[in-house]
Amino acid sequence: MSTQSAVDDDLFRKVALVVGFLAIAGSALAARANPATGYELSLYTMTSPFVWAGLVVALAVALAVAFVPSSGTSHTRGTQALALVLGGVVMVVFAGLPIIRGYRFYGHHDALTHLGWARAISEGTIVPFDLFYPGIHTVTVLINSALGIPLSRSLLFVVLISVLVFCVFVPLCVGTITQSQQAAAIAAFSAFLLLPITTISMYLQAHAMSQAVLFSALLFYLFVKYLRVDRTSASVSAIGVLFALTATATVVYHPQLVAHLIAVFIGISVVQYVARRFWSRGRIAGQTPMYSVTLFFIALFLVWTANHGFFSGMLEYFFESVIEYFFERGSGGEETIATQGTSLASLGGGLLEIFLKLFFPQLMFSLLAGGLALAAVVFRRSPYVSSIRAETTYFVTALVALVPLFLIYFAASGATMYFRVMGLMMVFVTILGSLVIYGLSTRYANRRQQSPSTSRPLLAAGFAVLLTLSLVAIFPSPYIYNASPHVSDAQMDGYGTAFETQADDVGFIGLRDGPNRFDDAINGNAERMHLHEGPPEEGLNSRLAEQYDGDRYLVLTQADRERETIAYGELRYSEAEFDSIATQPRVDRVQSNGEFELYWIRGNDNRN
């Protein structure tokens, strides 16, 4: 290609990047100019189409510039790096939409309890060490104190920071392993898929385990760097110190993650020991051993959990669950799956449909990682397999080590925490999948003696499809038969007023544990609130006053109504039931602000 053509090509790429950055800036401004005015059932449908158009344009530019090669290698490297920055900014805007659009808070259930604990730490009613995993709460208070941002908004920033950590350190990890910018680019867009987030026990909202798993990408980057430490230069390295500090931060974020990592590093240590004993001249034998790191993780976990009774309680719980599952014909994860399948069938959906919506990108990357592991066993004498880097063996070992934990969680009755193990597994799958894609694309070009111009546009198209399928299911919405956990100003203020004016000895009734969690969020309870009740099994239109001996408050919000009637298709509560509340005898509305209604139910012992 002529010099003039190369200059034109480089100019075109730069102009495209300018268009991409302008598009993402316009998208953020459009989102900011159209804040939420009330509860939003779906962040996707209630966000302006101009926002999504800007995100799509910016992401398309990032993919095209990152993977479609130009005539000049030096220019390509520079513009490709800018394309990765552009893609990262797209992810920041996407993940930060609840912040940009002015949400009061985003997250129900555990997220509301975490907000309350952060509030309690800020007010001094509890200290961080009273909590089992005070990581996200202390960071929230730090942001609140340093920047003056409200606690509810500061906690949303903690969630956003964890996404940023994951999207930065996954490509850095792969780039360190391969020493290839192209591999790092593939890993960056793989990270943008956010495979650990499944909306089942792993969320893009305040949830300690979710943030800990995303944060672990930094730990694995330091792990890869630690393997390359020159052990002859110093007994203690800077990377080793950073690795220890990050491990300590991980246990503060969530000790359960550290318990899983212990299994991972024990597996890696075993692999290293076997390699050193039988293949002393191999690549693994020449790397820094992880024995001391594994012992450090074990000691760290035991010291942190000693005062919380977590270790003994966890072992007892899982031991009893496994015994029940195998010897008493108990039911574990399959019962949950069957129940969800029945509910989906009632809504006109099915398990296959929801599986593909939630897990198709995870399935594709899992097949790539599984294919790599299978190839290493079946074709172990192949020159291609023998050239696979040692770190690949470690990450495959990590997946194998986590399988027993996944099965134990699956056997535990009434639990979906096996998706937490799956979330951690997806971190390794993201890295392995990136390495496989890089290896296959490079091998394809080399075998056919072709330039990258043939295979890389296919990568761009493939990632465009996977990113669309993945990101459309990151936030809960009716698309996945769920409702947004958006907490509006009216909803939070309504609960605040209700708790402040609550009569003595009169409890609350609310749907799906709502009053308990909002009680945590507003009052900063040291222990989770379990005093408030749910509606009777007969439903909301069952003459509520006759179902209770004493007086009760009944809370109904706009979020409750839209969740039950639209997202859940009146599976449990119908529109008619909601409408019947106002006309029932001995049920009086005492508070309303448009999105929050509080009713006084005069029970059987108070018929006046």
* pLDDT of 551 over the 80 cut: yes
Q: What is the DSSP string of 365-395?
A: HHHHHHHHHHHHHHTTTSHHHHTS-HHHHHH
The 10s digit of each residue's pLDDT in 97-126 is: 999 999 999 999 999 999 999 999 999 999
- For residues 195 and 275, the model is more confident at 195
User: DSSP E strands: which ranges in 93-232?
Assistant: 105-106
Q: Inform me whether the pLDDT recorded for 332 exceeds 60.
A: no
pLDDT tens digit string along 145-175? Answer: 999 999 999 999 999 999 999 999 999 999 9
Is residue 75 over pLDDT 60? no
* Residue 555 zone, left/alpha/beta (φ > 0; ψ -120 to 50; rest): beta
Neighbours of 408 (CB within 10 A): 18
pLDDT tens digits for range 357-396 = 999 999 999 999 988 888 776 665 555 555 567 889 899 9
Rounded mean pLDDT of 45-49? Answer: 96
Taking 70 as the threshold, does the pLDDT of residue 31 lie above it? yes
Per the model's pLDDT, the better-predicted residue between 344 and 243 turns out to be 243
Q: How many CB atoms lie within 10 A of CB 603?
A: 17
Q: Is 557 left (phi over 0), alpha (psi -120 to 50) or beta?
A: beta
Exposure of 226 in the CB half-sphere (CA atoms within 13 A) = 21
Which amino acid does the sequence have at 255? P
In this structure, the dihedral spanned by the alpha carbons of residues 427, 428, 433 and 438, taken in order and rounded to 10 degrees, is 100
Residue 200: what are its φ and ψ, rounded to 5°?
Answer: -125, 100
* pLDDT of 17 higher than 60: yes
Q: What is the pLDDT of residues 193-250, one digit of tens each?
A: 999 999 988 999 999 999 999 999 999 999 999 988 766 555 567 888 999 999 999 9
pLDDT for 90 equals: 98
What's residue 159's pLDDT? 98
Query: What is d(CA 284, CA 489) in angstroms, rounded to the nearest whole number?
Result: 56
Indicate the pTM of the whole model: 0.93
Q: What is the pLDDT of residue 146?
A: 95
Count CB neighbours of 586 within 10 A. Answer: 17
Averaged confidence pLDDT in the chain: 87
